[in-house]
Structure 1
Amino acid sequence: MSESNTVERRVTLASPEETHRLGVRLGELLEPGDFVGLIGDLGAGKTHLVRGVAEGARVPRSEVASPTFAIVYPYSGRIPLYHADLYRLTGYDDLYATGFMDLVGGEGAVLVEWLDRVPEAAPREHLRLTLAHAGEDSRTLEAQAFGARASTLLTAWLP
């Protein structure tokens, strides 16, 4: 996809709490069919952001878990939310065998940690978030929206 078809934003997050709050705001905006892929090293803040997104989508806090061993974890909230962790996968064939692709573009929103492990898991239209260490507690978040709905979502989330 060409640069002219993407919307990009970059923000600095001063703390894990700020990362969480930003996630809450994203969760409030998600709609069925949205796909958000997260990229970042261990400890970059992906899980803080996902927990915030789940809270914003009104998923009970007690339901939010790390899907590392289940690969995909479904949550019930304002909309169905599917949280996937691709860290342990070696490629697309591993992901395809889980039934994950049936969730994409469906009745819920999909959040994927470690999207860079299986980049072909992302549909053409998606929001890609890259988190990086910027200090002991601070992080940078680079967001790229691919497609019309993702662009609308990103500009509403990070005007």
Structure 2
Amino acid sequence: MTDIPQAHSNDAIVGREQAACLELRLEGHSFRAIADQLGLSLGTAFTRVRDAISLEVNPLADELREIEVQRLDQYLARLAPKIRDGDDRAINTAVRISESRRRMLGLDRPVAIDARVTEVTQQDMELQEMIRAAKAKAALEESVLLAAEASEEEQ
């Protein structure tokens, strides 16, 4: 019987790995160094960092965004009587509040940016290697599946 590595079913282990990977990443370690230090694959180290960021940062950002939306609502409510009276300053302030809200909530059409990479870092090269490895693995798995399917059809 072959030893096939299994995914962690223990959330506590995964949580500890996520915390350790994120801490090392924040200290400036490369994904390869993190993987080597914690005995993980490069892909797992990357995934643990990504998931840790998602768990810690995104909910906080959503909460802060909601607080800011409420704050903008309060500003507009206080300006409403002056806006109804046609006060130009109040109207201009309301427009700026609206612009801020649209940017914060991502409602504006994205601005086209011509971004060109002028420097390639070690992390960029590691990420490119991870992508190449994932594509190669997917291609290999696809060819194995197609060969198995063809073999079954021949029988």
Normalising by the residue count of structure 1, what TM-score does the alignment of the two structures yield? Answer: 0.24
Higher strand share: 1
Structure 1 or 2, whichever has the larger Rg, is 2
TM-score (norm 2): 0.25
